[in-house]
Structure formats: structure tokens, C-alpha cells
């Protein structure tokens, strides 16, 4: 019994292949936010995640925001101890360094790990990139530093009273790990306060706009 010959695919002209490839290249060149299909976040996550230990995204971002202040504390508050003996001078230098590191390293690291553009802006006090963010982040660093050292002073006074240690002693000294945690805590509180204020302002504008249309 003879086997039936397999059905062969109709021969395609070279022009058909050229047209198909040309259309694919054209789609890639002209792709933008308006004409590209939306991809679900769950699908993007498949390609972003690798094998091994999976750390939650917000934990990684908080670690970044902790690690850089801790590093600044190590290299400036500790590292300049002999070269700059006066604490206020070291704090001034540390504030400038912290602002620059925040603008150049911390915020760019947060942008790099963002699943989509702007996804991690909520973790930054000044998310927009530009020359104006340098002085703003430096001023902001001085504010956070003031809060951190105020907390250190309060804790040291409380420890002195609890332990009865001499008043000129410092039970809780400045070191990178605790400094980084304190800096992260106040930074998160201030950014949260900013988002709350913006939400209240937005709700007030919407309420005012709604009442204006009704009248």
C-alpha cells in the first residue's frame, strides 16, 4: 500500500518574506507608549525574577536606602574623625555628602530597580532628575541629620538617667548600622508625610472642583 505524499506548504515568494520582515522592523522602530500593547505586571515579573532566593521588592529598596546613609556615616563621620576633630564640622561635611549621594547614587539605584519608569518614585523625596535636586537633596539631608542627632541626644539622656552613668559619658555612640536605621526611619516618615499632604491637597482640589461645578 502506497503512502500518501505529505502535503507541502505552498511556495512563498521572496517578496512575501521581505514584506513580513519589513513590517516587523517597522513595528519595532515606531513602537511607543501609545501604540504598544500593555503588558501585565505579573508577566513582567516573570522576566525580572531569577532563580534562587527571592527578596520582596520593598525590602530591597529599603535596604538600599539604609545602606547608603550607613556608608556615608562610615566614611565621613567615622573616617574624618582625625582629620576633622570638631563634630559640627563633620556634620556639615556629612550633610553635603549625604545629599550628593542621595541624588547621584541612592535615587539612581531606585530608578534602576524600578519595574516600570517612575514605579519607585514614591520612595524619593525629590524624584525628578535635574540640577535643582542637588541643593534640594543637600538641604533635605541636613533636616534628616538634625532629626537623627536629636534622637541620639534624647536616647542618651534617657540612658544616662536610667543607668546613673556620669553625665559626660555617651552610652549610645554613633555607628553606621544604627545611624543608617535612624536615617531610614526619619526619611520614610518625611516622605510619608509628603505623600499624605499631597493626597489631602488633591482631595481638597477635587472637592472644590466638584462643588464649583454643582453651583
CA distances from 176 to 2, 25, 68, 207 (A): 83, 52, 10, 46
CB atoms within 10 A of CB 174: 16
C-alpha cell at 135: 541643593
CA torsion sign for 122, 125, 128, 129 is: negative
Residue-wise pLDDT tens digits, 44-63: 555 555 555 677 888 999 99
Residue that is written with C-alpha cell 505524499 in the block: 5
Q: What is the pLDDT of residue 138?
A: 97
Q: Which residue has the higher pLDDT, 190 or 51?
A: 190
Using the predicted structure, report yes or no on whether residue 15 has a pLDDT greater than 70.
no
C-alpha cell at 195: 505623600
Residue-wise pLDDT tens digits, 113-127: 998 999 999 999 999
Q: What is the pLDDT of residue 50?
A: 53
CA–CA dist 196, 190 (Å, integer): 10
Residue-wise pLDDT tens digits, 87-143: 899 999 999 999 999 999 999 999 999 989 999 999 999 999 888 999 999 999 999
Using the predicted structure, report yes or no on whether residue 16 has a pLDDT greater than 70.
no
Three-state SS for the chain is CCCCCCCCCCCCCHHHHHHHHHHHHHHHHCCCCCCCCCCCHHHHHHHHCCCCCCCCHHHHHHHHHHHHHHHHHHHHHHCCCCCCCCHHHHHHHHHHHHHHHHHHHHHHHHHHCCCCCCCCHHHCCCCCCCCCHHHHHHHHHHHHHHHHHHHHHHHHHHHHHHHCCCCCCCCCCCCHHHHHHHHHHHHHHHHHHHHHHHHHHHHHHHHHHHHHHHC
CA–CA dist 155, 152 (Å, integer): 5
Using the predicted structure, report yes or no on whether residue 177 has a pLDDT greater than 80.
yes
Amino acid at each position: 500500500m502506497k503512502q500518501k505524499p505529505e502535503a507541502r506548504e505552498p511556495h512563498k515568494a521572496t517578496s512575501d518574506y521581505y514584506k513580513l520582515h519589513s513590517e516587523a522592523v517597522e513595528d519595532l522602530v515606531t513602537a511607543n507608549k501609545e501604540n504598544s500593547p500593555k503588558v501585565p505586571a505579573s508577566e513582567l515579573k516573570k522576566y525580572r525574577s531569577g532563580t534562587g532566593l527571592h527578596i520582596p521588592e520593598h525590602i530591597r529598596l529599603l535596604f538600599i536606602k539604609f545602606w547608603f546613609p550607613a556608608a556615608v556615616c562610615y566614611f565621613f563621620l567615622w573616617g574624618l574623625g582625625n582629620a576633622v576633630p570638631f563634630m559640627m564640622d563633620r556634620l556639615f561635611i556629612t550633610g553635603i555628602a549625604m545629599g550628593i549621594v542621595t541624588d547621584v547614587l541612592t535615587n539612581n539605584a531606585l530608578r534602576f530597580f524600578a519595574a516600570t519608569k517612575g514605579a519607585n518614585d514614591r520612595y524619593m523625596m525629590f524624584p525628578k532628575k535635574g540640577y535643582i535636586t542637588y541643593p534640594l537633596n543637600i538641604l533635605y539631608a541636613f533636616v534628616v541629620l538634625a532629626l537623627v542627632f536629636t534622637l541620639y541626644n534624647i536616647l542618651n539622656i534617657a540612658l544616662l538617667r536610667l543607668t546613673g552613668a556620669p553625665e559626660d559619658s555617651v552610652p549610645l555612640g554613633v555607628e553606621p548600622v544604627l545611624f543608617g536605621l535612624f536615617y531610614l526611619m526619619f526619611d520614610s516618615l518625611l516622605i510619608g508625610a509628603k505623600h499624605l499632604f499631597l493626597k489631602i491637597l488633591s482631595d481638597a482640589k477635587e472637592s472644590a472642583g466638584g462643588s464649583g461645578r454643582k453651583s
